[in-house]
Homo-oligomer: A and B are copies of this chain.
Amino acid sequence: MPGNTSSKRTQKTNCLIEKMGYYLDLSDPDIAHLASLQKHEQTWRQRDIVRESGAPADLLYVVKSGWCYSYTIMVDGRRQVLQIHHPGDVIGIPDVAYERAVTGLQAATDICLCPFPKNRLDEIFRDSPRLTALIMTLGMMDHVVLLDRIRTIGRMNADERVAHFLLEIVSRLRITSSDITDTFDLPLSQELIGDALGLTNVYVSRTMSLMERAGLIQRMDRAIRICDERALKDMADFQDRYYRIDTSWFPGGTAPALEPNT
């Protein structure tokens, strides 16, 4: 069993295995596989650029600690933040389809990532159909989260967007940190949040101030407390995409993976 430190969020010995294990019973070989993806690790400081958009897309990354984000820059300099990556996430699955990275990758806090070459996926595909299915499923979850994001940006106004954003973050954190209830640290600038939601930093500030005054949330330093989760969920029409997935179709039933083929 992956160890349990006393730290609140990031310092689990192995976030990836913990996250995967949340969804599925992992066999020993599967655990070994996952662990081997994290042999090499590398750290970056806050605001460091891990990978530029357009760079060769030969690496994937497992987030070991800290937060980072994928983004694109428009010709006129505007930025769109596409995804926030938390400990336990595998970054870059979509880039696998292309020779060059579609998005940039930047550190939101000091981070530790474990890069691994994308052809390592190939091994997993051969050795463990069950792990393959899980990795695919995690990719599809990301996909669905993007659909939610499109809906949010395309058809919701500022306060609904912010509410949705906060709820998504909490849901995500709750997977790997079951002790999180309503308060969490949000190490993201309002400019970043704005760039994720298609708003400006100024309007994010106004919106969050209003939400706080309305008693929906509370802010202490960079920590956020969700005061009225029910109300937030209602206003943002929020669905938790992280809580539960369908593993019924996975090869090998719900038991740990059997020996691969014949």
Contact = CB atoms under 8 A, between A and B. Distances in A.
A154 B245 contact: no
Interface string A52-89: 00000100000000000010101100111010000000
A138 to B, nearest CB: 8
Given A80-B154, A143-B139, A144-B94, A246 B57 contact: yes
Interface in A105-159: 118-119, 121-122, 125-126, 129, 132-133, 136-137, 139-144, 146-147, 149-151, 153-156
> Which 6 A-B pairs have CB atoms at the shortest separation, nearest pair first?
A154-B198, A97-B140, A94-B143, A94-B140, A80-B151, A99-B246
Contacts of A248: 99
A111 to B, nearest CB: 21
Contacts of A80: 150-151, 154-155
Contacts of A150: 80, 82, 146, 149-150, 153
Contacts of A57: 246
Nearest to A79: B155
Contact of A147 (B79, B82, B197, B246): B82
A245 B198 contact: no
Contact of A139 (B70, B74, B78, B139): B139
A154 B197 contact: yes
Nearest to A135: B136
A237 interface: yes
A143 B144 contact: no
A94 B141 CA distance: 7
B147 A72 contact: yes
Interface residues of A, number: 54
Given A96-B137, A142-B143, A118 B249 contact: yes
A102 B139 contact: no
A140 B75 contact: no
Contact of A97 (B96, B125, B132, B144): B144
Given A151-B82, A198-B155, A237-B75, A93 B140 contact: yes
Nearest to A83: B147
Task: Tell me which of A70, A95, A132, A249 has the highest count of chain B C-beta atoms within 10 A of its own C-beta.
Answer: A249
Nearest to A97: B140
Nearest to A71: B151
A251 interface: yes
